[in-house]
Structure 1
Amino acid sequence: MSWFQKSFSLKAQSRGSYLITSEITSNLPEIGDYKVGLLNLFIQHTSCALSLNENW
């Protein structure tokens, strides 16, 4: 079993819903090595929410 930890920032945007998959994968190229795993995202902002949805 292996794991890694990395910190990065996303650009600030106005209110709305945004796809951040490409930003996550570009900042974490290591996840391409995993077939099964768990990703924990910690968002340090008081008014930010994260919604996980399947993108069809």
Structure 2
Amino acid sequence: MCAEHRGDLSPAGERYAHALEIGPRIGQRWMVEEAESGLARIAGPADRTPEHDGV
């Protein structure tokens, strides 16, 4: 996502969250997977949990 690459993490997070909301409704699993991956990349250390990190 362009916002993420520019370092605009708040707009990037909003767009990823929106994709997580829309993806299942329109049957686009790839959209959900990309959004989950994007949110994981931009999450700060305080936002991460062992479940998200696969621990």
Same fold by TM-score, threshold 0.5 exceeded? no
Measured against the shorter chain, the TM-score band is under 0.3
**Larger Rg computed on CA atoms:** 1
TM-score, normalised with respect to structure 1: 0.27
